[in-house]
Amino acid sequence: MKRTTARLADGREIIYFDRRDDAAHRLDDPRDLPPVSTTSQLRYDPVLAEWVAMAGHRQTRTFLPPKDLCPLCASTPERPTEIPSSEYDVVAFENRFPSLSTHATTTETGTELVPIRPGIGRCEVLVFSSDHNASFATLEPDQARLVVEAWADRTTELSAVPGVEQVFCFENRGQEIGVTLSHPHGQIYAYPYVTPRTARMLQSAREHRDRTGGNLFADVLAEERAAGVRVVGRTEHWTAFVPAAARWPVEVHLYPHRKLAEIGDLDDTERDEFVTLYLDVLRRLDALYDAPLPYIAAWHQAPVRADRDLAYLHLQVFSIKRARDKLKYLAGSESGMGAFITDVLPEDVAARLREVEVR
């Protein structure tokens, strides 16, 4: 893999990841861009004991532009984009409308009950392919493997940024999920705190270890592999399964068989096998309703410093689509109380995903 860094016109960093060592890119950005907003702030919710990011400047971000105005396509002489080069494989760059920024400042301090602090952190866009009409599911294995390399690279780099406590790689796909750009891409957030979901998962893992002496995630994986009824696919080093208490109508978790903290800990064989299994899972998801499935793919990695011994790298993929023409809305119980009610049995979803015909 060849890695090339440059700066965009407003100072944001851009990183090219290429399969070919002889790949060359335009490194200057001819656009005249306004400065990136650094007004993000974090406000503490004392009732839920959680930090909430305030980023009002994101209201003006690009929203579903037509293909000929896509900011993630390669640049042409007539139309420069966020990616100055005329061709590329995989690209990461700092978000133009970030929720968190390494340069964030605020003059507000809040109160003792509700403190306010700058929204320090970093938000990046990771573009999977220069092909506007592609999706992760349609990538060739070597292209998908390059994305894995980029995830690993960015996790390592962002973990070293002062103040960052957790790195989250994810993909939102489909307008139903809230995607504002249709070009195949994901995002990477570097948070200045451990996120609520991760903190809760690690607390559960701590309690499980205290009670049994085992690792919670390893024990869940072992139980799913032994039962088999919810397993969607497996390789020598990975298993994909629908969790027994799935919250979402379609939900698949991919676990490596070896306990690891982050993506960069995967060896070459594990990375190759992940690509094989993940592409198969995504193609099964798209075949489920014979249409591209809206989903969120979320990498669960260890925090930068806290409880790394408890964590277990895995990927969660889930969709709000509960039938060909129906979405699961988070209504009263889910949104109001955080109490999920699932409409489809996980065993049935797993069986359908195993049996579906993949093209």
91-124 confidence digits (pLDDT tens): 999 999 999 999 999 999 999 999 999 999 999 9
- pLDDT average, residue stretch 285-292: 96
pLDDT reading at 263 higher than 80? yes
Mean pLDDT, rounded, of the chain: 96
Q: Which residue ranges are tagged as binding site for Zn(2+)?
A: 70, 73, 132, 183
| 185 has catalytic annotation | yes
Cite the annotated binding site by residue number. Answer: 70, 73, 132, 183
pLDDT at position 63 is: 80
Question: According to DSSP H, which parts of 130-232 are helical?
Answer: 141-159, 196-212, 216-227
Q: What is the pTM of this model?
A: 0.96
Residue 208 sits at the vertex; the CA angle it makes with 204 and 209, to the nearest 5 degrees, is 120
User: For the chain, how are helix, strand and coil distributed in percent, rounded to 5?
Assistant: 30, 25, 45
pLDDT surpasses 80 at 14: yes
Phi and psi, residue 232, nearest 5°: -95, -35
Using alpha carbons, list the distances in angstroms from residue 181 to 69, 90, 314.
Answer: 10, 16, 26
- Reported as a single tens digit per residue, the pLDDT across 310-351 is 999 999 999 999 999 999 999 999 999 999 999 899 999 999
pLDDT, residue 355, reads 97
* Residues 50 and 193 sit within 8 Å (Cβ to Cβ): no
Q: Where are the alpha helices (DSSP H) in the chain?
A: 141-159, 196-212, 216-227, 268-288, 337, 346-355
- Give the model's pLDDT for residue 62: 80
Query: Catalytic pick from 25, 57, 103, 185?
Result: 185
Write down the pLDDT at residue 353.
Answer: 98
Would you say the C-alpha torsion 19, 21, 26, 27 has a positive or negative sign?
positive
Q: What are the structural domains of the chain?
A: 2-193 (3.30.428.10), 197-354 (3.30.428.10)
